[in-house]
A and B are shown apart, each in its own frame.
Chain A
Amino acid sequence: QKEVEQNSGPLSVPEGAIASLNCTYSDRGSQSFFWYRQYSGKSPELIMFIYSNGDKEDGRFTAQLNKASQYVSLLIRDSQPSDSATYLCAVRYGNKLVFGAGTILRVKS
């Protein structure tokens, strides 16, 4: 059973702070990792993917991957109220993505 675990939250951060979202996965053979954002009532949209150990930065977002510890994280710098959403971690196994249940992020203005 391939599992992806996320803290459901909600994670509350003040506007301008750094939000840190974490995800762990069960299968050491996993190669590709994705972060999606889902606003209430909307479909998931891709934020970033990462497949190499270390950090990958895109604007205010940084994905971090540690394959030895089997975790992947997403940092959001200078958090904005518009970042309030559910963040889904997904891990690729063969032809399919396995999703975590998501972490609710609330950015307070």
Chain B
Amino acid sequence: ETGVTQTPRHLVMGMTNKKSLKCEQHLGHNAMYWYKQSAKKPLELMFVYSLEERVENNSVPSRFSPECPNSSHLFLHLHTLQPEDSALYLCASSQLRPGGAASTDTQYFGPGTRLTVL
């Protein structure tokens, strides 16, 4: 496998269910990200992990719980979601460089998980 993979690709769940999204990167990167993409809205950053430590949490509701056990794997645990949480959830990875006013770390995206909450 190469690049960034995500499973499952499609998920339908009820509001009382608990599920997890999985992301794996094969690029040797040190940072991983979760984004939410809703129709006609910009990509919304949810979480950033750098060297397995969460460095960004964009006021995401607690019903979304990220986990980063190592630099290659990232999970998003879901519980008691709402219908408005239905969206495409994208994982990305990059190689963050320290400091650097002109740091150009590029984020590479996985194929996404299309989530539908009934």
Contact = CB atoms under 8 A, between A and B. Distances in A.
Interface of A: 4, 8, 31-32, 34, 42-46, 49, 51-52, 88, 90, 92, 95-102
A4 B43 CA distance: 11
A96 B111 contact: no
B109 A96 contact: no
Contact of B40 (A42, A49, A101): A101
Contacts of A43: 90, 109-112
B69 interface: no
Nearest to A48: B106
B20 interface: no
A46 B108 contact: yes
B7 interface: no
Given A32-B102, A42-B111, A97-B107, A102 B96 contact: no
A99 B112 contact: no
Interface stretch (B48-56, B59-67, B76-84): B48-56
Interface string B80-118: 000000000010000010000111111111111000000
Contacts of A99: 42-43
Given A43-B109, A96-B56, 16 more contacts: A8-B40, A31-B101, A42-B111, A45-B109, A46-B107, A49-B104, A49-B106, A88-B43, A90-B43, A92-B105, A95-B55, A97-B45, A98-B42, A99-B42, A101-B41, A102-B42
B99 to A, nearest CB: 11
Nearest to A92: B103
Contacts of B109: 43-45
A55 B49 CA distance: 32
A90 to B, nearest CB: 8
Contacts of A4: 42
